[in-house]
Structure 1
Amino acid sequence: MSSADFGLDLDWMPEPLAVESPHIPSLDPAFRFEPQTTRAILAGFRFNHRVLIQGLHGSGKSSHVEQVASRLGWPLMRVNLDSHVSRLDLIGKDTIVVQDGQQVTAFQEGILPWAMQQPMALLLDEYDAGRPDVLFVIQRLLEADGRLTLSDQNRVIEPHPQFRLFATCNTLGLGDETGLYAGTQVLNQAQLDRWTSVCRLDFMDEASEVQLLLDKTQRLSGEDAALMVRFAAMTRDSFRAGDLSILMSPRGLLHWAQGSAIFGGLLAAVDYTFLNRLHRDERALAEEMLQALGLRAD
């Protein structure tokens, strides 16, 4: 494994792990790495940096970490920090178990103690949607030594030498300026300062997205792929201008390509994968974009 496998030229690389684990992500041979983000992720694995990746939905934040981990043979656990994940879920709690026919109380470790005691990359998705009490638990892992104190158990857990921590977010913790991401919040700047590296991941350039579609969907023509990517770029420009409230992400493009084979063409599929998500006035604008590209929506 060399940096060239990731499209980079580095004089350092993390060592692949020689472990067998069901938590090693599946390999996507067609995945396309963004250089700056990939460099930061590799540094996270090599130098134990804490890496936070920000970007719009569908830009490939989590997939970048997963695909680097897959190529390094590094087990990875994803945790979505939605409003239902509690402090007890992360640290652990007392539960009633049956031992020798008797009901007894035993401490059941949470996600953090379990993950940090083994070779494992922990990926915290939707980091900017986490509850404050949950984020303050995570803050302990962002310290230099990365120890986790379980005060109820009078234990201090030392992280495994090959434990790594990553997170993804849609905002930079400064609030949601777009109105797209309900549930996100302003984050504690003292905690954000503890992340070693912060990356901004944007969408791929058009040529890379066209190639991604062709790699992922064998029946798609180059002409159709280019048209689809051009439409996606137009929705993103309109989103930035405030004319559309949603945009077509690379994930949406893949759904569109897959749907075209099922529903009988690009026009039929774009209804299901994008147009039906829009407000009536926005849909009219999107249909005008399709017409400008030579497609007429029903």
Structure 2
Amino acid sequence: MSKKDIRAAAKDFGEARPQWLTQSEFRSGHGKYDLSMALSQISGNVVPLSQPVAQQVFVPSNPQPTFQLPTLPERHTESLIPEKDPNFVKFGFYNDLRKILESKMFYPVFITGLSGNGKTYGSQQLCAQLKRECITVPITIETDESDLLGDKTLIDGNVIFSQGPVVDAMERGAVLILDEVDLASNKIMCLQSIIDGKGVYLKKDNRFVKPAAGFTVIATANTKGKGSDDGRFIGTNVMNEAFLERFKITFEQEYPNQSVEKKILKNTLSSLKEFTPEDEKNVDDLTVWASAIRKTFEEGGIDEVISTRRLVHIVETFHIFGKISKSIELCTNRFDEDTKASFVDLFEKISGGEEIVPAVEDDEEVPF
């Protein structure tokens, strides 16, 4: 081999030039070297081992820890469209709210009314009818920015940011329902820019979230954000006026009229059993009974009221026990003894044929 061949071979193998091979003892001519002579000399110096040499493994004196990137919690990938309730009956603000949601505008709405009259449920069922995704966030005095927008959390030993339901709704263009918003503390003010439709900067994640098309906010409450003077809705708070001012309109939800409530109760019973003439009479009596109680409540004669939700509870209880009188008693047990006794006595008079108020007033019809 020539020196040129040796240099080329060393380069191909990524090795330094073997100076020992170009010594005079391996020269076979001018500029030529005999590799076989070198190999015979090397092989002659090899002594066979009687025991195999154990393979040595290099272990660093200061091993470095290995890290695995944290896996972010999976976001909602399933549909968040509410399930349709076949027993649902449209009433109240339904048509007006439908126009708002169909417009796909950002148009925050405040809905107020007594408990059990379908504020949240009606909004959810409207989303179901329109096939709109809906995220409902229950609000309490303890609800804070972390619950709404997200917070850092520990995943697989690593701290990452897990975004909250409000951010989910913004990114999906969903309808966000703030349920019982008047129970909130002043920490709800973290949503100020969101109710303005301007998005929000997530301080703990160092990014700005802009709402997707279709995103809007519905807030439901038992009060108008001014607290509860009569103590019926203890825990509700006087809300910040600047926060309330950001809602474009307010719907005042009343209890449905007797015609609507009859349809609601009939749908409920029919979904549980075959609807009979006895059921028809019970439904008529219940709606007259509830209407009379509400009228007395509005006039200040009593402190309790029978909600539409309570009527549904009564017919469901009737399906289980088979006696309307027992159902009335069980479902009014939560009231004080005097109130309960007066309610039970009133129903006995109505079911016995004593006329208290007209079953359906002339101008009362199912509006939808």
The aligned counterpart of 2:115 is: 57
The aligned counterpart of 1:29 is: 86
Secondary structure of residue in 2 paired with 1:25: coil
CA distance in 1, matches of 2:288, 2:81: 35
CA distance in 2, matches of 1:34, 1:53: 14
Secondary structure of residue in 1 paired with 2:310: helix
The aligned counterpart of 1:74 is: 132
Shift of 1:278: 1.5
Shift of 1:21: 4.0
The aligned counterpart of 1:285 is: 342
CA distance in 2, matches of 1:36, 1:175: 23
Shift of 1:37: 4.3
1:124 counterpart = 2:178: yes
Q: Which runs of 5+ in 1 are unaligned?
A: 1-19
8 Å CA contact 1:44, 1:50 repeated in 2: no
Letter in 2 for 1:125: D
Bigger Rg, which one? 2
CA distance in 2, matches of 1:251, 1:295: 24
CA distance in 1, matches of 2:138, 2:255: 22
Shift of 1:285: 1.8
The aligned counterpart of 1:200 is: 252
Letter in 2 for 1:149: Y
CA distance in 1, matches of 2:184, 2:95: 25
Q: Deviations over 1:241-291 (max 9, x none)?
A: 3343321111111111111121121101111112x1121221232133123
1:156 counterpart = 2:214: no
CA distance in 2, matches of 1:203, 1:215: 17
Report matched runs for 1:184-223 at 5 Å.
Answer: 184-218=236-270, 219=275, 221-223=279-281
Higher relative contact order (CA 8 A, sep 6+): 1
Letter in 1 for 2:307: S
Alignment partner for residue 194 of structure 2, among 119, 124, 141? 141
Q: Deviations over 1:61-83 (max 9, x none)?
A: 01111111001111111111012
CA distance in 2, matches of 1:178, 1:236: 16
The aligned counterpart of 2:42 is: none
* TM-score normalised by L of structure 2: 0.69
| Gap change, CA 1:35 and 1:232, over 3 Å in 2 | closer
Q: Which runs of 5+ in 2 are unaligned?
A: 1-76, 354-368
Alignment partner for residue 159 of structure 2, among 84, 90, 105? 105
| Gap change, CA 1:272 and 1:214, over 3 Å in 2 | same
Q: Deviations over 1:117-143 (max 9, x none)?
A: 11311111001101211x201222111
- RMSD of aligned residue pairs (Cα, Å): 1.9
Shift of 1:147: 0.8
CA distance in 1, matches of 2:145, 2:243: 17
Q: Deviations over 1:197-253 (max 9, x none)?
A: 210010111111112211221235222111001111122123223343321111111
The aligned counterpart of 2:32 is: none
The aligned counterpart of 1:12 is: none
Q: Identity across aligned pairs (percent)?
A: 24
CA distance in 2, matches of 1:32, 1:177: 32
Secondary structure of residue in 2 paired with 1:128: helix
1:90 counterpart = 2:148: yes
8 Å CA contact 2:182, 2:239 repeated in 1: yes
8 Å CA contact 1:55, 1:170 repeated in 2: yes
Size of the aligned set, in residue pairs, is 270
